[in-house]
Structure 1
């Protein structure tokens, strides 16, 4: 009888919480599921290594070294930056002109411990050739696409990219969407469920981007684009065919700086408008736009630009300071009016150490937190965050690496103390065939303890990214996301070539608290802390700098928490995915 009474109590409290959510439109019990797969797998990723080489070195070693040094000084792209194709193109153009090169290009590969390797190939030539106008409008040559104009430091290009994606699920939501999606506003029509079901998605994104000097050291830049997306078939939340066209990027900024003779570099970069922004590796901020529902393309995840990002970035050598405001582009039906202000400081120390600290504040939001008796809003949230990384050996050589991040959340308006942290340790065997790298990561995000007056449930904010960032489990993330969860991740990276990578993962998931209000309604009150486990394999391949292919298979097995909530033994959830991205 005691067990039955406890179960009845949990059921009553869950119904009360769900009723409160339905009575108040601004209340969101289930965070919108988005960005499970980052289709733009290069965009936004950490730059782990930068290599520079000459394609036609001269017989004078001093001349070669001087050209490479001048290029590096003018490039203003650094390890640990986030890779954004257009901004790297701008930097490459400025550096090529400053070094008096006849030409320069770059290629993309996978780094041994995660992130990307950028390899810049420089072509020596005479000053006249280096300064000659380039681009379709200047030369009339279609082969210059996507560059329209490149002369005297003015550089204008077309952005053109597309994605085609196939996705399939067997027994999505463990075959019980009626329970797992009860009250979820993402549902339109019939969601995926029992059996194998699949769909296709597509995206086309095009726009104009440019940069021009107002003086020798002061450049202004900007960009604007439109993105069209569509979905057809039986998607996770819907079986309706949908399409959507909207402005994606619309930003402007300036960059200025100086490089002294001793090599010290000072740079200021400021911008404002619709653009994407990532803090660190996405532990707190990466998903600055929402996908799915009427916008379609839930898994292709093509939209990243926030409604507004105001960003000022000051860099001196290996130290960077960022001031920012982020107003994410949320789905209209789930718009919480959240705005995030923050400051971020990062520095590269000696012996392979990198350290960073951030402070975030939410001046306005209607997003709701739940307890069995009260609700609170996100407005007034404060986040104190610190992170570090240590990799003593150069990239491409065997050795250890360690990464960690920890954050504390408080609120100015009520008693809140939530925490999230992770620690990862691994070893690169770069001298072995396929350059394997093994790592283990432990992550914990607090849940609420109903026996205290303090609210302790972790708020994931705009966390996410891909399966190697904070999408914790390709399928399981859709069930729990990053709150009230303890995750053990065992990961192996295999690189048959610099452009081909295989990433198998094993995940074990547990709850931090048996009280899970604010998560999936079917799991509002847990009878066990065992969420389950997942096995998955992701394959990634750069066919060229412009063509990227990725696929995965994943199997997720429900634990006792799910089985008790269902009062049954649900089937495992299997998924498959393949996408191709072409970008210029």
Structure 2
């Protein structure tokens, strides 16, 4: 017979088991309820809030952290999400070294969607690590951050590059013909046989931010570049060095986030800085290199003489007004100014963009078959672009991209077109994470049978060999005008820090009339420019040290062979540079 005390213990034990069982049963029920909520509402976000459970005393830091988390999440009211997407993005947030944990709560929203609350828990020592910078803690490991406290930020920049470049039969072994009348020629250019040179640059400056109030910051930057070249370059054999201001800009950024989680941002800046539109088909090379500035191939300089821009962003949607005066070489300065408006957005894994550009001032020439010359001044450009990719982590899938632009002119009858279409497939889970893509691009030439002018104006196109530098060697002869290109490209990652990018190019002319291009190719007897095979290697040794190299082989087509009377030679080039940057 059980004692009264034993009976009480048994009763308590049973009740404890009931409570524990009830609790454990409720846990999956809550999770299932959240899953059901995501399903029944189609995962549409009504509100997204971010809460720090143990905020610091530094309001500027708290605001910066929540804004950083919001950008990492990449989710805004109106978006549709799944449980997997929330979990995946939360995993990225948890990598923040100052966080103990990050969790979320899903509730039903008043508008038929869901409310998501992200809760952050900071590490106890975070408060002690808020103020840092070599001016505060005297520790060398803080460099290049000089000062970071209470929203005030000052950082030094130091960027060093050394490059070796070599050519075999540059200009297809015929520099006198291919460079006739080129103002960049100074002394002896590269040509038949083997030539090489070295170049380097040092880019150093200061960049900072200062809070005006809780949500408004002023910022700016100033820097200078010293560049050097010696040896047999493709345009000259003269040793040159140059020192000049690179960045010199100021700006103001302000924004607010509503209780629902909608984020609005206003950014205004003016001065010398780099500007890129889209992926660079229209604007990316806002400064010129080479000539008296040296560092031709390393592209040391990017900042325009002046960039003024006003950017308004609402969640994923951005609208910007801009004016660009590129920093051109003095011998080739066309006094061009480009004004424009750009709008872009993202939805369903798709980036969409639309731009309209005008050229109110320019001396750049358009050459007509009848001998007349017009200028770029008065040019109008309409551009639309789209890029879609599978964003599911580690999953194979298709990626697509396309862009179309049309050019007209206020003063002449003009209609030129530039467009591209790209399709590819990636296998990130396979060995070497391979991907393959094909891109077709066309930039129209002038049809001599029509009165209308159709030759595409490349403006400030370029960038690098994976943007709109089409062919490492070939781009030096025929740039993005009167050109049809086929690019076959692959990517391989044999190591986490190494990437290989082989490319095969086929180049054709759109029109036999090529006035405004290379003078030796002004009147083509064939539309076959040639083909190129190149291989690029990238080695990301560390966050500070990067090694890049290429080898390229270019075979001239009939258009070049006929222009050179059968004296052409195949063109090889190779390059390697080491870049160290803080």
Q: TM-score, normalised by structure 1?
A: 0.80
Please give the alpha-carbon distance, in whole angstroms, between the structure 1 residues aligned to 2:236 and 2:52: 63
1:249-398 aligned within 5 A: 249-350=247-348, 352-373=349-370, 374-398=372-396
Please give the alpha-carbon distance, in whole angstroms, between the structure 2 residues aligned to 1:135 and 1:62: 25
Q: Deviations over 1:57-104 (max 9, x none)?
A: xxxx9979xx99984633676799xxxxxxxxxxxxxxxxxx9x8759
TM-aligned CA deviation for residue 354 of structure 1: 1.6
Secondary structure of residue in 1 paired with 2:268: strand
Secondary structure of residue in 1 paired with 2:68: helix
Long gaps (5+) in structure 2: 1-50, 55-60, 75-93, 100-119
TM-aligned CA deviation for residue 396 of structure 1: 3.5
User: Aligned residues, how many?
Assistant: 486
Secondary structure of residue in 2 paired with 1:480: coil
TM-aligned CA deviation for residue 499 of structure 1: 2.7
1:469 aligns with 2:463: no
Please give the alpha-carbon distance, in whole angstroms, between the structure 1 residues aligned to 2:400 and 2:475: 24
Please give the alpha-carbon distance, in whole angstroms, between the structure 2 residues aligned to 1:487 and 1:123: 53
Please give the alpha-carbon distance, in whole angstroms, between the structure 2 residues aligned to 1:69 and 1:140: 26
Please give the alpha-carbon distance, in whole angstroms, between the structure 1 residues aligned to 2:72 and 2:463: 21
TM-aligned CA deviation for residue 126 of structure 1: 2.7
Is 1:163–1:202's contact at 8 Å kept on the other side of the alignment?
Answer: yes
Q: Cα–Cα, structure 1 residues 172 and 503, in superposed 2: closer, same or farther, change >3 Å?
A: same
Q: Deviations over 1:552-583 (max 9, x none)?
A: 00000000000111111511100000001111
Q: Which residue is equivalent to 1:438?
A: 436
1:74 aligns with 2:72: no
1:81-480 aligned within 5 A: 124-126=122-124, 129-130=127-128, 132-350=130-348, 352-373=349-370, 374-480=372-478
Q: Which residue is equivalent to 1:88?
A: none
Q: Cα–Cα, structure 1 residues 303 and 70, in superposed 2: closer, same or farther, change >3 Å?
A: closer
TM-aligned CA deviation for residue 129 of structure 1: 2.5
Please give the alpha-carbon distance, in whole angstroms, between the structure 2 residues aligned to 1:219 and 1:63: 25
Please give the alpha-carbon distance, in whole angstroms, between the structure 2 residues aligned to 1:338 and 1:396: 45
Q: Deviations over 1:495-524 (max 9, x none)?
A: 123432100000000000000000001000
- Range 514-523 or range 392-401, more displaced: 392-401
Q: Which residue is equivalent to 1:49?
A: none
- CA RMSD of the aligned region, Å? 2.4
Is 1:103–1:130's contact at 8 Å kept on the other side of the alignment?
Answer: no
Q: Deviations over 1:415-439 (max 9, x none)?
A: 1100000000000111210010000
Please give the alpha-carbon distance, in whole angstroms, between the structure 2 residues aligned to 1:247 and 1:538: 31
Is 2:283–2:459's contact at 8 Å kept on the other side of the alignment?
Answer: yes
From 550, 563, 566, give the equivalent of 2:564.
Answer: 566
Q: Which residue is equivalent to 2:535?
A: 537
From 571, 574, 577, give the equivalent of 1:576.
Answer: 574
Q: Cα–Cα, structure 1 residues 70 and 291, in superposed 2: closer, same or farther, change >3 Å?
A: closer
Is 1:307–1:327's contact at 8 Å kept on the other side of the alignment?
Answer: yes
Is 2:555–2:571's contact at 8 Å kept on the other side of the alignment?
Answer: yes
Please give the alpha-carbon distance, in whole angstroms, between the structure 2 residues aligned to 1:68 and 1:132: 10
Is 1:508–1:532's contact at 8 Å kept on the other side of the alignment?
Answer: yes
Q: TM-score, normalised by structure 2?
A: 0.80
Q: Cα–Cα, structure 1 residues 79 and 102, in superposed 2: closer, same or farther, change >3 Å?
A: closer
Q: Deviations over 1:90-129 (max 9, x none)?
A: xxxxxxxxx9x8759xxxxxxxxxxxxxxxxx99433762
Is 1:102–1:130's contact at 8 Å kept on the other side of the alignment?
Answer: no
Q: Larger Rg: 1 or 2?
A: 2
Q: Which residue is equivalent to 1:15?
A: none
The higher relative CO (CA closer than 8 Å, separation ≥ 6) is in: 1
